[in-house]
Amino acid sequence: MALKLSFLAMILFLLLASIAKAHPSVFDVTSATYGAKPGSDVSKALAKAWSDACASPLASKVVVPSGTYKLKEATFKGPCKAPIEMQVRGTLQAPANAGQLTRPDTWVGFQYIDMLTLSGGGTFDGQGALAWGQNDCHKNKNCKPIPINLRFEFITNSRVQDITSLNSKNFHMHVFRCNHTTFQHLTITAPDESINTDGIHIGASTGINITHAKIGTGDDCVSIGDDSHQITVTDVTCGPGHGISIGSLGRYKEEKDVTGIIVKNCTLTNTQNGVRIKTWPDSPSPSTASDIHYEDIIMVNVSNPILIDQLYCPYTRCDQKPSSKVKINNVSFKNIKGSSFTPLAVKLVCSRGVPCENVELAGINLTYGGDQGPLTSLCSNVKPTITGMIKALGCATSSLAPLPLSKK
C-alpha cells in the first residue's frame, strides 16, 4: 500500500511539474507587485518584472497589458535561467527628446538572451519626429548617435513576432551578433521623409529569418551588413523606403564576408530601390558578398528595381577614387516582375578592380510607362548569364557611362 501511495505521489509530482512547465509564470507590470499604470513611466516596474522573470527557474512571461505607457528607456539583459517571453499588448512611448536617454544610441535593448520571445500585438512608439529634423547622418559620417527603437545583441534561438515599431528616431530594429532568430508578423512604420529609419538592419549574425512583415520607412526596409550569413527574407511588403539592401559594404577595415542571402516572395511599392547590393569605392580591405539570390519579387513603380552599385558614395564625390575591393560572386535575380518608375530598370555597376562573377538574370519582366526614354538596362564589369527576358532588360548598355552619385 505504501509503495502504491509513493508511486501515486510521484505521478502527481510529475503532473504538477508538467503543468508548471506548460504554463509559464506571469509577471504583470500592472500587478500590485510592480505598480505600473497607464499614462505613467513604467521603466522601473518593467525593469523589476524582467529581473524577477529572468531569475525564474521556470519559463516566464513579462506582460504589459493594453494601454499607453511612458518608457524612458530599458535594457533587458540575460542570460536568463529559462525561456522568457515579453508580451507587450499596449503601447510603449519613448521620450520625444532623445537627450533624455542615458544610452544615446538605444531606446529598448535586449542582450545575451537564449530562447527569448517578444510578442503581444503591442507597439513601440519611438516618437521620432523631433529627431528626424536633427539627423544629419545621411550627409555627415561623424554624426551624433541617435536612438534605435529596438536593439537585439547576442540573442539566440529566439522569436520577435506580432509587434509594431512606430516612428523610430533611427533604425527600427538593429540585429547584431544574433543567431537562429526569426522576425515574423511585424509592422514597421515611419513616414517617407524620416531619415535613416531602416526597418531591420542585420550585422554579424547567422541564421536570421524575416518573414510576413509589412515595412514602410524613410530608408531601407531591410539592410544586411558585413559578417552576415544564412539570412532569409520572405513575404515582406516594402514601401515607402529605399528597398531591400545588402550593404553598404566595404567602408571599414577588416569587414567580413556576407554569404547565403535569400530574398523571395516580396513586394516593393513606390520605393527608391528594389533589390540592391551596394559597396563603397576605395575599400580599405578586401571582402566578398556571395551566394545571394532574389526570386519571385514584384516591383510596383520602383525607381531602381534591380541594382548592383559598387560606386556607392553618399557623402562626397568618389568617381575618381580606386574601385571597390568587395568581390560580388554567385548572385541571381529570377522571376522579378512589375513596373519601374525610371527607364533604367536593371543597373549592374560592378567594381573595375574585382568584377562581379557568376551573376544570373532570368525571367525579368519589368515595364516602364513614363516619358523619359525607352526601357533599358546597364551592365559594367560584369557578364551575366541572361535567359527569358527581352533585350532591353539584358544589359542593353554594357559600357559605363557617367552615372549620378548614389544616395541613400
Backbone dihedral region of 131: left (phi > 0), alpha (psi from -120 to 50 degrees) or beta? alpha
Q: Which residues contact 53 (CB under 8 A, 6 or more apart)?
A: 25, 27, 60, 61, 62, 80, 84
Cα separations in angstroms, 239 against 19, 175, 183, 348: 45, 21, 18, 22
- CA atoms of 169 and 135, how far apart (whole Å): 9
Cα three-residue angle 403-406-408, rounded to 5 degrees: 160
- The 8-class DSSP code of residue 176 comes to E
Catalytic residue among 174, 201, 229, 242: 242
Asked if residue 83 has a cis previous peptide bond (ω within 30° of 0), the answer is no
Cα three-residue angle 122-230-406, rounded to 5 degrees: 80
- CA atoms of 85 and 405, how far apart (whole Å): 45
The C-alpha torsion from 157 through 163 and 166 to 171, rounded to 10°, is: 10
Q: Where are the alpha helices (DSSP H) in 296-403?
A: none
The radius of gyration of the chain from alpha carbons, rounded to an integer in Å, stands at 24
Choose among 71, 87, 63, 62: nearest CA to 39.
71
* Residue 89 grid cell: 499588448
- CA atoms of 33 and 334, how far apart (whole Å): 56
How many other CB atoms are found less than 10 A from the CB of residue 3?
7
Choose among 175, 221, 167, 218: nearest CA to 193.
218
Q: Does 185 qualify as catalytic in the annotation?
A: no
Residues with catalytic roles: 242
